[in-house]
Structures are given as structure tokens and as C-alpha cells.
């Protein structure tokens, strides 16, 4: 589209800053672009009123931006784009200037608009929560290079590399440096069996990075001794910090010098400094190449002794 004049691109953009004309009313701000296109006044009024009703802006049509809240001004900026009825909407971090509650509300409104307008929306954001909750497909970029394009849950469950795995998910994924040998992943204090999704490389050996999300680590309260459970992925450590969140608890543990973050239920609140045992679910673990960060690592086949 670089060679096409902006007025002919049929693209509407919503900026990070609201970019509203302060001397114009909400009605005039929303209809300004249509007037530049010399559209008839009756059609402009119809589109503006229809869009204002969609965005709950009808009571504010005669007000100026200076007397509106941040959320209302953002909706005016959205309305100015919607009245054009473009083929494509471009959003440049439109919620970054809003407080937390308004971000949630406006996020929901944009998702609703997408369903009602049935138009293509390209949304740029650094907030992975916005991306995960709003997108049909997400393109993850790093340093201008495309890392992976997929549906939100595919990115979460099948990340293409370590960067995608660390970027998607909050709190971020835990990473443990070690090696694959003898059908298990080994690191200081760790012995995780190559089961489930890791079974494909069980017969190989070499250095690797294991990734495990906090919600895939369980706190073991009781059971047999650790020596009897190496095949179950149980590791021993000590609790460094506990963060109660109400509906869940973030548990920071140290296992032989490796720090792990576990997300556990609120039923049991351990004390900092206490010993703990954690079970890592091998069916939810990921392996990454320690050199390239890629998920699909090709370890050399283990040689028979």
C-alpha cells in the first residue's frame, strides 16, 4: 500500500494518543474525516449517531474532549475510525494510556466491536494479556523478526522457541539448564523423565534447556521419600518467598541453586524458609536448544555402551 495515497487505502488507524481535535465536539471529531471526503451531511449524521450508540457515546456528542474521561476519549477515537467503515483497522497500542480497570473494559468493547463489524483488525501491543484475550491469531516479533504466528493457545502450549515461551504466559515460564541422558533430563537437583511430549527425544543425549510453566509445578505435601520418586519428577528445595494472591499462591523455591516459581492453590500456605518438594509434570514440560533457543532440538542419538 506504500504507493497508494492514504485517502484511497480504505484503512483506519487508532493511535496510542487519542489525537482528537480539542476545539471540536465529539460529533465533529467523529465526522471530520467524512466531511473531508465530501460525504453528504445526512449520511455523516447517520453514521456518527449509529456509531455513538454502538459505543455508548450518544450523551456526549455535543461535548468537547477536554471534559471527557480517558476511556470516553478512547471510545471517540475508536468511533472516528468506525464511521469510515474501512476494510482494515490498525490499532497502535490504543489502551496504553488507560488505567487498569478501563483497559479491561475497553478491551472487551473492542472484542465486541470486532464481532459486530466483522472487519479485519491489526492490533499492535506489548501487553501479552491483550494479545491472548483479544486475538484470533498472534504474530510474535522480536527485534523486527517474526518468531511465530499462531492462535493464542497454540503459542501458549506449543511455542516455537524460548523467546515465545517466555513472552507468552504470566508469570513467565521457568527455564532450567541441563542435559538429556539415559531417558531423563538431568540438572543439579533434577531428574525429569522423558515422558509425554518429551518422549520423542528420550533415546538421545546432549545439552538442553527445560522449560516448565509455574502452573505445571505442584507442591508435594506428603508421600514416599524422594529417593523412591526420581521417575516422578519430584525435586527437593527450600521456599524463599510466598505471595498469596487470594485465589492462588505464587511460591518461589530454590532447588540446588535453581530458582523456580510455582503457581499453587490457596488451600495450603507454606512458610518461607521451610523445606519443600515439588513435582514437575513431564507431560507439560518443553525442551529448548541451549544455543539457538529453538523448541525442535535435534540431539545426537545416545550411543550404546
- DSSP string covering the chain, please? -TTS-GGGS-EEEE-SS----TTS-HHHHHHHHHHHTT--HHHHHHHHHHHHHHTT-GGGTTS-GGGS-HHHHHHHHHHHHHTT--SEEEEESTTTTS-HHHHHHHHHHHHHHHHHH--EEEEE-S-HHHHHHH-SSEEEEETTEEEEEE-HHHHHHS-SBHHHHHHSSSSPPEEEEEEEETTEEEETTEEEE--GGGGGGTTB-EEEEEEE-GGGEEEE-S-S-GGG-GGGTEEEEEEEEEEE-SS-EEEEEEETTEEEEEEE-TT--PPTT-EEEEEE-GGG-EEE-TTT-BSS--PPBPPP-
From residue 43, how far is each of 47, 51, 129, 266 by CA, in Å? Answer: 6, 12, 38, 57
* pLDDT in the model for residue 300: 63
Alpha-carbon torsion (22, 23, 28, 33), positive or negative: negative
Q: What is the CA radius of gyration of the chain?
A: 26
Class of domain 6-136: alpha beta
* pLDDT in the model for residue 266: 86
Grid cell at residue 65? 474532549
Q: Which of 233, 279, 228 has the alpha carbon at shortest distance from 253?
A: 279
Comma-separated ranges of CATH 3.40.50.300 domains in the chain? 6-136
Q: Going by DSSP bridges, is the β-strand pair 120-124/88-92 parallel, antiparallel, or unpaired?
A: parallel
| Cβ atoms within 10 Å of 296's Cβ, excluding its own | 12
* pLDDT in the model for residue 172: 92
Q: Which of 80, 182, 62, 173 has the alpha carbon at shortest distance from 128?
A: 173
Return per-residue pLDDT of the chain as tens, 305 residues. 889 987 788 888 888 788 899 999 999 999 998 888 888 989 999 999 988 888 888 999 999 999 998 888 888 988 898 898 888 999 998 887 777 777 887 788 788 888 888 889 999 998 888 899 999 999 999 999 999 999 999 999 999 999 999 999 888 999 999 998 888 888 887 888 887 777 777 677 889 999 999 999 988 864 444 443 444 678 888 999 999 998 999 999 999 889 999 999 888 888 898 988 898 888 888 999 998 999 866 556 555 44
* pLDDT in the model for residue 235: 86
What is the rounded distance in angstroms from the CA atom of residue 122 to the CA atom of residue 138? 10
Q: Is 266 exposed, middle or buried (0-12, 13-18, 19+ CB in 10 A)?
A: exposed
* pLDDT in the model for residue 305: 40
* pLDDT in the model for residue 296: 65
The torsion defined by the Cα of 192, 197, 203 and 206, in degrees rounded to 10, comes to -60
Comma-separated ranges of CATH 2.40.50.140 domains in the chain? 174-288
Q: Determine if the peptide bond prior to 188 is cis (ω within 30°).
A: no
HSE-CB for 55 with a 13 A CA cutoff: 30
As beta bridge partners, residue 255 has: 258
What is the rounded distance in angstroms from the CA atom of residue 66 to the CA atom of residue 47? 23
What is the rounded distance in angstroms from the CA atom of residue 139 to the CA atom of residue 148? 6
* pLDDT in the model for residue 142: 94
Q: What is the CATH number of domain 174-288?
A: 2.40.50.140
Query: Helix crossing, 70-82 with 26-36: angle to 10°?
Result: 20
Amino acid at each position: 500500500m506504500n504507493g497508494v495515497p492514504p485517502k484511497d487505502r480504505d484503512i483506519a488507524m487508532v493511535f496510542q494518543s487519542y489525537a482528537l481535535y480539542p476545539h471540536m465536539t465529539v460529533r465533529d471529531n467523529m465526522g471530520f474525516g467524512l466531511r473531508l471526503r465530501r460525504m453528504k451531511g445526512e449520511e455523516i449524521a447517520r453514521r456518527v449517531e449509529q456509531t455513538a450508540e454502538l459505543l455508548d457515546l450518544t450523551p456526549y456528542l455535543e461535548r468537547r474532549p477536554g471534559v471527557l474521561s480517558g476511556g470516553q476519549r478512547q471510545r471517540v477515537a475508536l468511533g472516528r475510525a468506525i464511521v469510515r467503515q474501512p476494510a482494515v483497522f490498525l490499532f497502535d497500542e490504543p489502551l496504553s494510556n488507560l488505567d487498569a480497570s478501563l483497559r479491561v473494559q475497553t478491551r472487551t468493547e473492542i472484542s465486541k466491536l470486532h464481532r459486530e463489524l466483522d472487519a479485519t483488525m491489526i492490533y499492535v501491543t506489548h501487553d501479552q494479556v491483550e494479545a491472548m484475550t483479544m486475538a484470533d491469531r498472534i504474530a510474535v516479533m522480536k527485534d523486527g523478526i517474526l518468531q511465530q504466528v499462531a492462535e493464542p493457545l497454540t503459542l501458549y502450549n506449543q511455542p516455537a522457541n524460548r523467546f515465545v515461551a517466555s513472552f507468552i504466559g504470566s508469570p513467565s515460564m521457568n527455564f532450567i539448564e541441563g542435559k538429556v541422558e539415559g531417558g531423563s533430563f538431568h540438572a543439579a537437583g533434577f531428574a525429569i523423565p522423558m515422558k509425554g511430549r518429551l518422549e520423542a527425544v528420550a533415546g538421545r543425549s546432549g545439552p538442553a534447556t527445560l522449560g516448565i510453566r509455574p502452573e505445571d509445578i505442584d507442591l508435594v505435601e506428603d508421600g514416599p521419600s524422594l529417593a523412591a520418586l526420581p521417575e516422578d519428577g519430584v525435586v527437593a528445595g527450600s521456599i524463599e518467598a510466598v505471595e498469596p494472591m487470594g485465589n492462588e499462591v505464587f511460591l518461589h523455591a530454590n532447588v540446588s541453586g535453581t530458582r523456580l516459581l510455582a503457581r499453587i492453590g490457596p488451600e495450603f500456605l507454606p512458610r518461607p524458609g521451610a523445606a519443600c518438594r515439588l513435582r514437575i509434570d513431564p507431560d507439560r514440560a518443553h525442551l529448548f536448544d541451549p544455543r539457538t533457543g529453538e523448541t525442535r532440538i535435534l540431539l545426537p542419538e545416545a550411543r550404546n555402551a
